[in-house]
């Protein structure tokens, strides 16, 4: 910054020099606030030009909304402008119950792309796959459609229909899917017995009440298995959710120590979350299952348990979404979803665009169908594949998996068909054997 006194000295010494260097001098003496005013003047000029000379009459409110949305979308894949309708949709999602088809989507290379269908939903039943490109919704092209617009078009009352036109790798022409909407009540926690003494716990997302549901499931497993020798915590294809729920789930298995901390430009964005001693100890062995669809809150849990050596992490490298979004309400029901900080595991790892590396890498072996052919699977999308993602070193791709609890199928049958679950169960058994050998 050039002080006023210094500027006067330059004026006295040589007016010729000042004239030659006026543009440079004024640029140096301008404050950041002056620069913002100049940019706002540019925006105002363009807005006036569009209003005065565009071929059709335009709604100034729509122009401003579009400009704000474009500004936020230019930052990273997760920041966005929320209309009142979008904001309500976001609040509905965190409660885990809505009318729709059950699909997680993102925008990749400017194309609406499937991350994963949710288990047991219309999208899952119809055969929608990871990495499917949605090019039309009810015949309307999605090229210029925002993510929230696409979500709203796929949402709707139970029993109504929606048609998706999809491009899929390996298919020569677009695929048409007509889906009947249902009530998507996401059951974030479920359990299934493996063998006497061993439990399987699946968390499909982190929503309001996940921690409460988990405690109920663990209490039942501990009551039915005396003693409970170990559990498999399945976080595969878990897209994340609420930060406080990830902290609460991690805390359920930790009695002390750091769970996660966040870092941003502002002091208010720098937060730490610590474990507290549980009234009911849960000190049995744990194997956590992850894959390329495990993101955000799921990575917080896996990273915390891994860093504290409280669990063994098995599977494939996770998605790598290490950023925290804050939803900031505005006037008239609008809101901004803004990336405000990055989160770090207890050891100081940022998993942004790198993901959590498993302690034991086990790729999913896709079982063959009755005709001897393996079912088709999509290529897993990660944070590093999204435009404008925050960079970190990148690693290998991981494949898709989705274990299912099928009615009428013996427990051991689905375990044998899921090689990652089978390997995790074997590890739990070997842990007990090694423990006995060590202490006997």
Comparing CA positions, the residue from 231, 142, 212, 125 lying closest to residue 177 is 125
pLDDT at residue 435, as a whole number: 65
Output the pLDDT for position 389: 61
Alpha carbons 148 and 383: distance in angstroms, whole number: 19
Question: Which of 228, 358, 226, 351 is CA-nearest to residue 295?
Answer: 351
The candidate with the shortest Cα–Cα distance to 211, out of 282, 262, 270, 261, is 282
Helix then strand count (H, E) for the chain reads: 13, 19
Which of these three, 184, 200, 227, is where a domain ends? 184
Looking at the predicted structure, is the pLDDT value of residue 373 above 50? no
SS3 215: helix
* Residue 85: pLDDT band with limits 50, 70, 90: confident
What CATH number does the domain containing 174 carry?
2.30.42.10
Non-local CB neighbours of 382 within 8 Å, separated by 6+ positions: 292, 319, 320, 353, 355, 397, 398
Q: Identify the pLDDT of residue 402.
A: 34
Structural domain includes residue 327: yes
221 and 162 in a common domain = no
- What's the number of domains the chain is made of? 3
Report the candidate in 403, 427, 398 with the shortest Cα–Cα distance to residue 417: 403
Helix (H, G, I), strand (E, B) or coil at 319: coil
Q: 179 with 228, same domain?
A: no
CB burial class (10 A; 0-12, 13-18, 19+) of residue 59?
exposed
Q: Sort 338 into a burial class: Cβ within 10 Å, 0-12 / 13-18 / 19+.
A: middle
Is it the case that residue 4 has pLDDT exceeding 50?
A: no
Residue 292 falls inside a structural domain: yes
**pLDDT over threshold 70, residue 284:** yes
Comparing CA positions, the residue from 267, 310, 266, 273 lying closest to residue 288 is: 310
Closest CA to 389 of 85, 107, 51, 81: 107
* Structure-token pair, residue 233: 């915590």
Specify if 91 maps to a domain: no
Q: Both 113 and 14 in a single domain?
A: no
83 lies in a domain? no
Cα–Cα distance for residue pair 296/324, rounded to 1 Å: 8
In the predicted structure, residue 17 carries a pLDDT above the cut 50: no
DSSP 8-state class, residue 381: P
What whole-number distance in Å separates Cα of residue 298 and Cα of residue 239? 7
Contact 123, 102 (CB under 8 A): yes
Residue 93 has pLDDT above 50, yes or no: yes
**pLDDT single digits (tens) 152-199:** 899 988 999 999 999 999 999 999 999 999 988 778 999 987 899 999
Comparing 15 with 407, which gets the higher pLDDT? 407
For residue 102, pLDDT beyond 80: yes
Specify whether 316 is located in the same domain as 206. yes
Per residue in 294-349, pLDDT (tens digit) is 999 999 999 999 999 999 999 999 989 999 999 999 999 999 999 999 999 999 99
Q: Do 300 and 174 have their domain in common?
A: no
- Reference 195, options 231, 219, 223; nearest CA is 231
- Are residue 303 and residue 195 in the same domain, yes or no? yes
- Which of 184, 206, 222 is the C-terminal boundary of a domain? 184
List beta partners, residue 164. 137, 177
Return the higher-pLDDT residue of 352 and 77: 352
The predicted pLDDT at position 92 comes to: 76
Percent of the chain with pLDDT over 90: 59
Q: Provide the pLDDT for residue 110.
A: 82
Which pLDDT belongs to residue 146? 80
Same domain, yes or no: 309 and 423: yes
* Gap between the Cα atoms of 159 and 156, Å rounded: 9
Q: Is residue 349 in a domain?
A: yes
Q: Tell whether 86 is covered by a domain.
A: no
Kindly state whether residue 84 falls inside one of the protein's structural domains.
Answer: no
Non-local (6+) Cβ contacts of 170 within 8 A are 376
Cα(209)–Cα(95) distance, integer angstroms:
8
**Gyration radius of the chain over CA positions:** 26
Does residue 220 share a domain with residue 132?
no
Whether residues 20 and 105 fall in one domain: no
Average pLDDT, the chain: 83
Q: 308 or 14: which carries more pLDDT confidence? A: 308
Structure tokens at 349: 């790892």
So which residues are the catalytic ones? 296, 307, 321
For residues 194 and 4, what is the distance between their CA atoms, to the nearest angstrom? 77
**The overall pTM is greater than 0.85:** no
Kindly state the average pLDDT of the residues 101-113: 85
Respond yes or no on whether the N-terminal peptide bond of residue 417 is cis (omega within 30° of 0): no
**438, 429, 423: which is closest to 284 by C-alpha?**
429
Cα dist. 133→165, 174, 290, 416 in Å? Answer: 8, 9, 24, 32
pLDDT of 411 over the 60 cut: no
Regarding whether 433 and 366 lie in a shared domain, the answer is yes
Q: Can you give the CATH number for the domain in which 244 is found?
A: 3.90.226.10
Judged against a pLDDT cut of 60, whether residue 120 lies above it is answered with: yes
Boundary-marking domain end, from 29, 57, 73: 73
Coil/strand/helix, residue 192? strand
Task: Print the domain residue range for 223.
Answer: 186-439
223-266 tens-digit pLDDT: 999 899 999 999 998 889 899 999 999 999 999 999 999 999 99
Residue 2 pLDDT level (bands cut at 50, 70, 90)? very low
- Per the domain annotation, does 134 fall within a domain? yes
Q: What integer pLDDT is reported at residue 8 of this predicted model?
A: 38
Confidence of residue 363 (pLDDT cuts 50, 70, 90): very high
- The terminus-to-terminus CA distance of the chain in angstroms comes to 74
The mean pLDDT value for 87-108 works out to: 81
pLDDT number for residue 194 = 86
Specify whether 192 is located in the same domain as 104: no
Q: Are residues 122 and 52 in the same domain?
A: no
Report pLDDT for 293.
84
- 269-273: average pLDDT: 95
């Amino acid at each position: 910054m050039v002080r006023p006194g210094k500027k006067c000295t330059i004026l006295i010494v040589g007016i010729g020099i000042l004239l030659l260097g006026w543009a440079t001098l004024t640029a140096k003496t301008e404050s950041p606030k002056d620069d913002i005013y100049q940019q706002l003047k540019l925006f105002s000029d363009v807005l006036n030009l569009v209003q005065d000379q565009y071929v059709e009459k335009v709604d100034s409110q729509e122009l401003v909304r579009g400009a704000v949305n474009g500004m936020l979308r230019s930052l990273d894949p997760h920041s966005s402008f929320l209309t009142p309708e979008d904001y309500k949709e976001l609040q509905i999602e965190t409660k885990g119950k809505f009318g729709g088809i059950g699909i997680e989507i993102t925008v990749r290379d400017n194309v609406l792309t499937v991350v994963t269908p949710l288990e047991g939903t219309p999208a899952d039943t119809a055969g929608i796959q990871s990495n499917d490109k949605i090019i039309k919704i009810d015949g309307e092209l999605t090229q210029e459609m925002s993510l929230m617009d696409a979500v709203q078009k796929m949402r709707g009352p139970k029993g109504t229909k929606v048609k998706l036109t999809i491009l899929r790798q390996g298919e020569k022409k677009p695929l048409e899917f007509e889906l009947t909407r249902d009530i998507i009540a996401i059951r974030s926690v479920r359990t299934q017995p493996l063998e006497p003494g061993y439990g399987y716990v699946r968390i499909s997302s982190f929503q309001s009440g996940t921690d409460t549901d988990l405690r109920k499931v663990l209490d039942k497993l501990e009551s039915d298995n005396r003693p409970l020798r170990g559990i498999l915590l399945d976080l595969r294809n878990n897209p994340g959710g609420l930060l406080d729920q990830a902290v609460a789930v991690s805390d359920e298995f930790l009695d002390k120590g750091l769970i996660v901390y966040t870092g941003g430009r502002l002091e208010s964005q720098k937060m730490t979350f610590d474990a507290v001693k549980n009234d009911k100890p849960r000190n049995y062995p744990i194997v956590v299952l992850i894959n390329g669809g495990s993101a955000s809150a799921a990575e917080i849990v896996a990273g915390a348990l891994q860093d504290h050596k409280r669990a063994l992490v098995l599977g494939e490298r996770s998605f790598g979404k290490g950023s925290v979004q804050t939803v900031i309400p505005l006037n008239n029901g609008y809101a901004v979803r803004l990336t405000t900080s990055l989160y770090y595991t207890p050891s100081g790892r940022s998993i942004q665009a790198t993901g959590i590396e498993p302690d034991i890498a086990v790729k999913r072996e896709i079982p063959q169908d009755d005709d001897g052919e393996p079912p088709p699977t999509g290529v897993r999308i990660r944070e590093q594949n999204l435009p404008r993602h925050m960079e970190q070193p990148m690693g290998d791709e991981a494949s898709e998996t989705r274990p299912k609890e099928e009615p009428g199928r013996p427990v051991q049958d689905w375990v044998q068909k899921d090689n990652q679950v089978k390997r995790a169960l074997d590890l739990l058994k070997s842990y007990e054997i090694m423990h006995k050998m060590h202490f006997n």
